[in-house]
Chains A and B, each alone.
Chain A
């Protein structure tokens, strides 16, 4: 199965089950969780089922294209089921079958993993899903976001698309993945990994990043004061990414790391609060049976 067919199959599978096919969000982020379709939408009482591909950046994971398994830019497939349905594990396993994985021949395991994202003030309980020993998915019941207890609870499924495709194609290097007929993942992305690794580890200007962090934070604060939580959420993401780049440049001591992370978390919390208030002002429109809330079946 081609890399792009993995995406097409998952999109079709979850669309057929009532999910909104959301799209990648155009701000750098470490994971699909930071996309407002998850970060904001899992807050509050409104139902929300969605699925999307998320290009994700983890600057410290760059290996200059030399490591077959680590990338500073990779793809997640993210699914949010809110409220968490009666059998989310069953729905997930069915999606693996849709990808052609024989669940009797292969070993699928749910291995304890208590997830947290401290800069978003988010926590959850769940598992890593192992497929013949390889972690292919993060499966989480969100408990908190932006520091707020979540009710209802959302189930978050985060597929590692490269890993699943490597499993399906039986290749040892992500660069050897067949993306489309005649085109490999390496041909699409290898040079990106080399240059971005140089940027992340060597070239990104630390002084500029520090200034940017401060600016994004100030901008976020200003937007929240102006009662504009949706653009403020972008500033949370931008702060996080500046933070991640500073980490890659090894520019943060422990105390400063804690301090900056605390500042992102505080902004995420204030943004969450603003979003909750906004949805309340709007009268929680998705509670009134709008199409996005169609139950997953």
Chain B
């Protein structure tokens, strides 16, 4: 079985697209092979900025053939009285690709019909590959794609060459107007000629490309980049930390060559964040830190070249960095002429939105919300202890750095520069730190703010973003979340659970909406409160599922009305432990049976039923009265495991007896009402304070058994 080697030569594809493109292409080829009955070959893919390369191992040279019996016209229609085939028979035979003489008559339950044995498949794979490749390519979706000429074709960047070999044969394919050949392409500048391939062989391809100054395997380029940076860092005892940059740089080059450069030590007086932004984000250079963790005035850049004997590439890169740093110093010194606090008024001009006002107005709202949240009895002591003036100051300064020149030039430094300027201005340290910290967490696994003030400000900022977003009708839809509300919700829940360890979603939403400007925004926000709560409950469920909790327990806890993220996780942890105990089915049964017996439209009564006559009724009532106080006390202390055990051990047997002996739906409405009330109180003590275990699935003796028992009682 031959191998298939494909190289799609392109103009420079963005580094961030390469991995996805080559994976999609490989997947497309596998899918096409399967659809053509060619099995699922082992496909490997690699890429450089100028090529996507695939090798598929072991594709059959011909499609497996098969025979299929096809029924045609009736015998009478197919043959005349003399037994000669009619035009109907001839037409049928031609359509099936068989001679008329090969037709045969077979008896069927409906009568005698002409049949043909049709052969299917069996095509040469070489003739199928052009269509397969075209479809596989069309299925590659890039974050952004473009047109450049060929009608109907979109791709990340123009396609300019095509190598496609099946064994030793060139695949007669044309992709995006480019005809396939048996030639790969070498390095654009170092080996610009075609590279003739003997056949579809990955080793040969890789080595011939290496000779043509292209390292085609991404992993090898990453190793080369990383190795060169490590060697350079080692001279000052620094450690390698920039994995993501190494991968990006490797995907910008075909023949990575390190170029080490230096800059004037005077620039080390600038904040590290500025130096690193200039080097890493703008130029993709690796900064060098020494053993002491301090920046050195040198960097490692990479060129797509064999060497730089004359030092020209180094000199050019140094000149560029010098220009950037001199600009940054100009901005930094300009920013320092005015304290950060003096910029707050300027926020009146920024981010102005209908019904919400400017960022200046928003700073006031966030300040009020944060102050209010800090005074909540649920807030941790460290947050309650924050001075209102500190909170106010931090909220006011939080976005002021958007008006600085350095942030204008390096937008990725928003927050970071705010902290630096606030510290230089002599603002309290916790205020300075909270300006940077309040953007945390930006993404999953990001650390949370380190200080109580940072946590509080981050929480208020996100709660306000959600209230504003929903009030303006910017709810996330489907895959789209242009205003980042999913991220805000995710951050808010993490802040509540891991950061503060307390705080109810409903209370925070309520407080945030109350701070929206009176009028259109606030009334819209009020109307959207249930939608915000539902959105957050949904994100909370998702977070619990992501943490590995089973979906039925997550549903059970959310259904209990829990909306304090820390508490939801505490309950789930407790249930996880309880579910491992032998008494688990008994616990589920108590909650499940007492729930299922209640009619859907039944309204619980608050007072304790009187006039329970049967002994099983009285036993259950006494058991309930006996454990209720202690269970509640344990629940109030969030000691869920002991509370559940006590509940189960006190009530499992009486509930079981009750259902065995008592007919709940007594003809006398007063008796029936009493019994339902008792059962409902038993149920609610657990299902409204811990979890609605009637939603638990697959517990032995649980849901199914309960239903039949209830029916016979």
A residues contacting B by CB (< 8 A) are 63, 66-70, 83-84, 86-87, 89, 103-112, 114, 124-125, 127, 131-134, 141, 143, 151-153, 167, 170, 172, 252-256
- B contact residues around A66 at 8 Å (CB): 330
The 3 closest A-B pairs by CB, nearest first: A132-B316, A253-B349, A133-B317
A152 to B358, CA, bound (A): 43
CB pair A104–B190 under 8 Å, yes or no, is yes
Shortest Cβ gap from A24 to chain B (Å): 26
- A contact residues around B49 at 8 Å (CB): 110
- The answer to whether A143 and B149 touch (CB under 8 A), given A68-B323, A107-B303, is no
B70 at the interface (CB under 8 A from A): no
B633 at the interface (CB under 8 A from A): no
B residues contacting A by CB (< 8 A) are 11-12, 14-16, 49, 144, 146-149, 157-158, 160, 189-190, 252, 259, 283, 301, 303-305, 308, 310, 312-313, 315-317, 319-323, 326-327, 330, 348-353, 358
Shortest Cβ gap from B642 to chain A (Å): 56
A89 to B192, CA, bound (A): 13
- A contact residues around B352 at 8 Å (CB): 253-256
Q: 25 A–B contact pairs at CB < 8 A? A: A63-B330, A67-B327, A69-B327, A83-B149, A84-B149, A107-B304, A108-B189, A109-B12, A109-B252, A110-B49, A112-B14, A131-B316, A133-B283, A133-B301, A133-B319, A141-B148, A143-B147, A153-B146, A153-B148, A172-B323, A252-B349, A253-B352, A254-B349, A254-B352, A255-B353
Shortest Cβ gap from B509 to chain A (Å): 27
Task: Among B158, B189, B312, B326, point to the contact of A132 (Cβ < 8 A).
Answer: B312
A109 to B681, CA, bound (A): 74
In the complex, which residue of chain A has the Cβ closest to the Cβ of B403?
A: A250
A104 to B352, CA, bound (A): 51
CB pair A254–B350 under 8 Å, yes or no, is yes
A70 to B323, CA, bound (A): 9
CB pair B316–A167 under 8 Å, yes or no, is yes
- The answer to whether A134 and B305 touch (CB under 8 A), given A153-B148, A253-B350, is no
In the complex, which residue of chain A has the Cβ closest to the Cβ of B302?
A: A107
In the complex, which residue of chain B has the Cβ closest to the Cβ of A132?
A: B316
CB pair B149–A105 under 8 Å, yes or no, is no
A167 to B310, CA, bound (A): 15
A133 to B147, CA, bound (A): 28
CB pair A84–B304 under 8 Å, yes or no, is no
- B contact residues around A84 at 8 Å (CB): 148-149
A114 to B13, CA, bound (A): 12
- The answer to whether A133 and B320 touch (CB under 8 A), given A67-B330, A89-B11, A254-B352, is yes
Shortest Cβ gap from B278 to chain A (Å): 12
Task: Among B149, B310, B313, B327, point to the contact of A107 (Cβ < 8 A).
Answer: B313
CB pair B146–A125 under 8 Å, yes or no, is yes
Shortest Cβ gap from B503 to chain A (Å): 32
Task: Among B16, B148, B313, B323, point to the contact of A106 (Cβ < 8 A).
Answer: B313
- B contact residues around A103 at 8 Å (CB): 189
CB pair A141–B146 under 8 Å, yes or no, is yes
A251 to B351, CA, bound (A): 14
Task: Among B12, B190, B326, B358, point to the contact of A67 (Cβ < 8 A).
Answer: B326
- The answer to whether A104 and B304 touch (CB under 8 A), given A141-B146, A255-B352, is no
- B contact residues around A68 at 8 Å (CB): 323, 326
In the complex, which residue of chain B has the Cβ closest to the Cβ of A255?
A: B352
A252 to B351, CA, bound (A): 11
CB pair B350–A143 under 8 Å, yes or no, is no
In the complex, which residue of chain A has the Cβ closest to the Cβ of B348?
A: A253
A63 to B405, CA, bound (A): 13
Interface-central residue, B147, B157, B283, by most chain A CB under 10 Å: B147
Shortest Cβ gap from A269 to chain B (Å): 20
- B contact residues around A89 at 8 Å (CB): 11
CB pair A134–B316 under 8 Å, yes or no, is yes
- A contact residues around B304 at 8 Å (CB): 107-109
CB pair A87–B160 under 8 Å, yes or no, is yes
Shortest Cβ gap from B335 to chain A (Å): 14
- The answer to whether A114 and B12 touch (CB under 8 A), given A70-B327, A254-B352, is no
- A contact residues around B160 at 8 Å (CB): 86-87
CB pair B330–A141 under 8 Å, yes or no, is no
CB pair A111–B252 under 8 Å, yes or no, is yes
Interface-central residue, A87, A106, A127, A151, by most chain B CB under 10 Å: A106
Shortest Cβ gap from B158 to chain A (Å): 7
Extra A-B contacts (5), CB below 8 Å, given A69-B323, A104-B189, A107-B304: A104-B305, A107-B305, A108-B189, A172-B322, A254-B351
- B contact residues around A124 at 8 Å (CB): 146
In the complex, which residue of chain B has the Cβ closest to the Cβ of A253?
A: B349
Shortest Cβ gap from A47 to chain B (Å): 13
CB pair A153–B147 under 8 Å, yes or no, is yes
CB pair B252–A107 under 8 Å, yes or no, is no
In the complex, which residue of chain A has the Cβ closest to the Cβ of B319?
A: A172
CB pair A112–B12 under 8 Å, yes or no, is yes
CB pair B190–A127 under 8 Å, yes or no, is no
Task: Among A109, A153, A167, point to the contact of B149 (Cβ < 8 A).
Answer: A153
CB pair B14–A105 under 8 Å, yes or no, is no
CB pair A141–B158 under 8 Å, yes or no, is yes
In the complex, which residue of chain A has the Cβ closest to the Cβ of B358?
A: A253
- The answer to whether A106 and B312 touch (CB under 8 A), given A143-B146, A152-B149, is yes
CB pair A125–B350 under 8 Å, yes or no, is no
- B contact residues around A67 at 8 Å (CB): 326-327, 330
In the complex, which residue of chain A has the Cβ closest to the Cβ of B285?
A: A133
Shortest Cβ gap from A208 to chain B (Å): 20
A63 to B301, CA, bound (A): 29
- A contact residues around B12 at 8 Å (CB): 109-112, 127
In the complex, which residue of chain A has the Cβ closest to the Cβ of B346?
A: A250
A37 to B131, CA, bound (A): 41
- The answer to whether A132 and B317 touch (CB under 8 A), given A105-B312, A110-B11, A143-B146, is yes
A178 to B482, CA, bound (A): 49
- A contact residues around B16 at 8 Å (CB): 112
In the complex, which residue of chain A has the Cβ closest to the Cβ of B261?
A: A133
A191 to B247, CA, bound (A): 46
CB pair B149–A112 under 8 Å, yes or no, is no
A114 to B156, CA, bound (A): 11
A152 to B148, CA, bound (A): 8
Shortest Cβ gap from A246 to chain B (Å): 12
In the complex, which residue of chain A has the Cβ closest to the Cβ of B13?
A: A112
Shortest Cβ gap from B357 to chain A (Å): 10
A152 to B144, CA, bound (A): 19
- B contact residues around A134 at 8 Å (CB): 316, 319-320
- B contact residues around A152 at 8 Å (CB): 149
- B contact residues around A255 at 8 Å (CB): 352-353
A70 to B324, CA, bound (A): 10
- B contact residues around A105 at 8 Å (CB): 310, 312-313
A112 to B252, CA, bound (A): 9
Shortest Cβ gap from B282 to chain A (Å): 10
A255 to B361, CA, bound (A): 14
A64 to B330, CA, bound (A): 12
Shortest Cβ gap from A143 to chain B (Å): 6
A109 to B16, CA, bound (A): 16
Shortest Cβ gap from B247 to chain A (Å): 15
A67 to B350, CA, bound (A): 28
Shortest Cβ gap from B49 to chain A (Å): 8
A159 to B351, CA, bound (A): 35
Shortest Cβ gap from A71 to chain B (Å): 12
A66 to B146, CA, bound (A): 40
- B contact residues around A133 at 8 Å (CB): 283, 301, 313, 316-317, 319-321
Shortest Cβ gap from A23 to chain B (Å): 28
In the complex, which residue of chain A has the Cβ closest to the Cβ of B330?
A: A67
A167 to B322, CA, bound (A): 14
- B contact residues around A111 at 8 Å (CB): 12, 252
Shortest Cβ gap from B139 to chain A (Å): 20
- B contact residues around A114 at 8 Å (CB): 144
CB pair A112–B15 under 8 Å, yes or no, is yes
A255 to B312, CA, bound (A): 47
Shortest Cβ gap from A142 to chain B (Å): 10
CB pair B327–A132 under 8 Å, yes or no, is no
